Amino acid sequence: MFLIYALLFTCAAGLAAFVYRYDLCRREPWYMVFLAFGFGFAAMWVAGAVEDLVLLRLGITREDFAAKAAVVSLVETGARVAMVLTFATAFRARFTGALDGLMYGTLGGLGMAVNESLLYLSLAPPTPHTLGVEVVRLFAHSLMGGLVGFAVGQWVRPHLRPHPKPILSAGCLAVAMLVHFSWDFIAYQASRDALLKLLPMLLMLALMLVWGGLVAYASEQTLAPETVSETLPPDADEGEVPESA
């Protein structure tokens, strides 16, 4: 059991380092990484309590796969939005746009995943298969958190360029919710069908491609000349690049 937990946290640390490496404009201090992770961990705890209450009030049973998956995906996506908004408000000086939203959302999503993984590990026998499932969970929650963070991050500084794109924000939220719903709907059925077992991996691959595309887009927009000029202080030289991303 100890080895499974150790491997889980090792994978989580490696994923956090991977995400941190993609902060291409300004490296955040290490303690902000831990704070984002902590925000996500707390957000999942709250989301779990809300899910239990909603499922109980609506009378949704374990066999109502679609209804349960819909509630969980809606509540946890809302928790991600609230987590990123809270983080952006509490650390407004460091949270300056879509790229920061994507990074902090991904790290917060990792915190949510670890919280959920600890719960499932406590309910299941520690096996290599169990660890594999939890590693996939780490990636899935992190990537979905990144999409939600990007959507929220666009609106933190709406007066600056690049201006937020409502369609892009709505698309990111819709993809995060749809993938989460599909993932849970498949998992709840515990099917042995090979295709259904393959679908979660395909969903994660699609998420990774979307996440990578958003990183490239947000980095390009953040480093664009018009963005740099609008974020420079009035007395700065034109060739000076601001610290904030």
- What's residue 238's pLDDT? 39
Please state the pTM of the whole predicted model: 0.83
**Structure tokens given for 39:** 């925000």
Q: Where are the domains of the chain?
A: 2-220
**Model pLDDT, residue 25:** 59
**In 29-127, which ranges are continuous DSSP H helix?**
30-58, 65-90, 98-123
What pLDDT is attached to residue 147? Answer: 95
Q: What is the C-alpha to C-alpha distance for residues 58 and 50, in angstroms, rounded to an integer?
A: 12
What gap in Å lies between CA 156 and CA 88, rounded to an integer? 7
Name the residue among 98, 96, 4, 90 with its Cα closest to residue 39: 90
Which residue ranges in the chain fall short of pLDDT 70? Answer: 1-2, 22-27, 126, 158-162, 191-197, 223-245
**What pLDDT is stored for residue 31 in this prediction?**
87
User: Taking a C-beta distance cutoff of 8 angstroms, is the pair 105, 85 a contact?
Assistant: no
Indicate if the alpha-carbon torsion angle 175, 183, 202, 124 is positive or negative.
positive
Tokens of 152: 């929220």
Query: Does residue 106 contact residue 19 with C-beta atoms inside 8 Å?
Result: yes
Side chain identity at residue 215, one-letter code: V
**Dist CA 177 CA 204 (whole Å):** 13
Q: Which two tokens stand for residue 204?
A: 């994660």
Amino acid 149: pLDDT = 94
pLDDT of amino acid 6: 80
The pair of structure tokens assigned to 170 is: 């709505």
What pLDDT does 159 receive?
61
pLDDT (0 to 100) of residue 236: 41
Local structure of 19: helix, strand or coil: helix
